[in-house]
């Protein structure tokens, strides 16, 4: 029998930790809604082809990291390693073209087989923001502004740097690709095995290599800025001007790329030096060719995803939990009244702790341990008088309150 431990690369989110986790999700959801983004969700598994076509058969995620399996019906399925492909698939299969621009917010678990490390697990969680059907640079500005607002509300924007680059339009990328092939071909014998495979198929992915030898060669590789068409340059300038108007500071990082062919124009990352080697907090870019690659009509899109676990590590402590009221009934008649009273208070949005049993002493100890702020004591005498007793755990004082005035007293 396997040890009763979580599978490697997974972890339990216990109640105290989940309060911070939920704070990140709720903060992101609220901020996205302020920009008009509507929440949606897709299944946690898709046909494997959805991810293979969207992320590239030769990408590390597809070739090494995906949790893929054949189900009992013989279908090839994969647990989602990211959200964008599933949302684009949903856009196509649900006929959402008439709803463009479609602005979505989503969150949920993702799955990748990789070496677990700080802020990175095999089952992890992401928040995701997408705009599908908008080709204007203003959409890029807004998507990045949403990310900045979420980070600001979490108290971590000043811990992050927005790194920005352009990938150009298809014409720009064609010229840049040829330049990279010419450059790296001169060093083919010094490239890593993975990068030699990428040289002809997808040379931009060499720029993402983590191999130290590759990185030394990349340092002197041509920059895409040298190959931008006037239209691509204008798009990038409009993006930078828009971010300036939105008050979102950034740094242009010429080496920041996305290797797959459907990426165009904007690439960006919010990074930090507070997570060790795993410095990316959230990242995204424009993917104008993705929906067409998945079988839909040509439709522009841009989006980003951020790891919730990393945001939890960086974010300020969550707001204080609800102020809980403990009900302490003494006697059978009071037990019945306490159940009724608990329902009234909860309907008034007051958090209530009502123990399942035990004498008054044990109930007081449990209420104190749970951090309750006040106890409402009900016994036979209180029932006869139509009152309750309030005990303030902070001061230790007790007061009598008429049963009909209890709600007002607690809210005060």
Task: Order the strands of the 161-166 sheet from edge to edge.
Answer: 38-39, 102-111, 123-132, 301-307, 280-286, 264-271, 161-166, 251-252
Which of 117-126, 141-150, 169-178, 346-355 comes out lowest in average pLDDT? 117-126
CATH 3.40.50.800 assigned to domain 325-411? The reply is yes
The DSSP element (H or E) to which 139 belongs, if any, is helix 137-153
Half-sphere exposure of 63 (CA within 13 A, CB side): 6
* Most confident option among 94-103, 116-125, 316-325: 94-103
The fold of the 15-169+229-314 domain, in CATH, is BirA Bifunctional Protein; domain 2 (3.30.930)
Name the residue ranges covered by the structural domains of the chain.
15-169+229-314, 325-411
| Tens-place pLDDT, residues 220-242 | 999 999 999 999 999 999 999 99
User: Are 334 and 378 in contact, with CB atoms under 8 Å apart?
Assistant: yes
Which of 87-91, 176-180, 320-324, 364-368 comes out lowest in average pLDDT? 320-324
User: Are 156 and 134 in contact, with CB atoms under 8 Å apart?
Assistant: no
Other beta carbons less than 10 A from residue 103's beta carbon? 22
Distance from C-alpha of 74 to C-alpha of 359, rounded to nearest angstrom: 59
pLDDT for 318: 65
Whether pLDDT at 87 is above 90: yes
Other beta carbons less than 10 A from residue 396's beta carbon? 7
Residue spans of alpha helices (H) in 273-331: 290-293, 308-314
Whether pLDDT at 322 is above 80: no
Q: How confident is the model at residue 259 (pLDDT cuts 50, 70, 90)?
A: low
Whether pLDDT at 263 is above 90: no
| Tens-place pLDDT, residues 15-33 | 888 989 999 999 999 999 9
pLDDT for 205: 84
Strands 374-378 and 76-79: what pairing?
A: unpaired
Query: Rounded mean pLDDT of the chain?
Result: 90
| Tens-place pLDDT, residues 105-128 | 999 999 999 777 766 789 999 999
């Amino acid at each position: 029998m396997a040890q009763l431990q979580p599978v490697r690369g997974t972890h339990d989110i216990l109640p105290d930790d989940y309060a911070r986790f939920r704070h990140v999700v709720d903060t992101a959801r609220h901020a996205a809604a302020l920009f008009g983004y509507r929440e949606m969700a897709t299944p946690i598994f898709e046909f494997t082809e959805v991810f293979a076509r969207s992320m590239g058969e030769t990408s590390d995620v597809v070739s090494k990291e995906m949790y893929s399996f054949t189900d009992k019906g013989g279908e090839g399925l994969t647990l989602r390693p990211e959200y964008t492909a599933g949302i684009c698939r949903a856009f196509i299969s649900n006929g959402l073209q008439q709803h463009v621009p479609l602005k979505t917010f989503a969150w949920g678990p993702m799955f990748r087989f990789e070496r677990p490390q700080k802020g990175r697990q095999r089952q992890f969680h992401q928040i995701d923001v997408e705009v599908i059907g908008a080709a204007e640079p203003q959409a890029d500005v807004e998507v990045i502004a949403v990310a900045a607002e979420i980070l600001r509300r979490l108290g971590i924007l000043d811990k992050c740097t927005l790194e920005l680059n352009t990938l150009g339009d298809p014409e720009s990328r064609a010229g840049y690709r040829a330049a990279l092939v010419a450059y790296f071909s001169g060093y083919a014998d010094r490239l890593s095995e993975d990068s030699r495979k990428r040289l002809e198929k997808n040379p931009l992915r060499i720029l993402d290599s983590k191999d130290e030898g590759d990185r030394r060669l990349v340092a002197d590789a041509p920059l895409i800025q040298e190959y931008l068409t006037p239209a691509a340059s204008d798009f990038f300038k409009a993006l930078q001007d828009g971010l300036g108007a939105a008050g979102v500071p950034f740094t242009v990082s010429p080496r920041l790329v996305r290797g797959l062919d459907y990426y165009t124009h904007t690439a960006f990352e919010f990074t930090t030096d507070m997570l060790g080697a795993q410095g990316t907090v959230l990242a995204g870019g424009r993917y104008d060719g993705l929906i067409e690659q998945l079988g839909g009509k040509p439709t522009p899109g841009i989006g980003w995803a951020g790891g919730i676990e990393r945001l939890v590590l960086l974010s300020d402590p969550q707001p204080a939990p609800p102020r809980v009221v403990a009900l302490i009934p003494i006697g059978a008649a009071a037990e019945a009244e306490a159940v009724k009273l608990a329902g009234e208070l909860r309907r008034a949005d007051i958090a209530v702790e009502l123990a399942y049993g035990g004498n008054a002493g044990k109930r007081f100890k449990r209420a104190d341990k749970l951090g309750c702020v006040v106890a409402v004591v009900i016994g036979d005498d209180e029932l006869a008088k139509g009152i309750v007793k309030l005990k303030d755990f902070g001061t230790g004082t007790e007061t009598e309150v008429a049963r009909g005035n209890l709600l007002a007293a607690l809210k005060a």
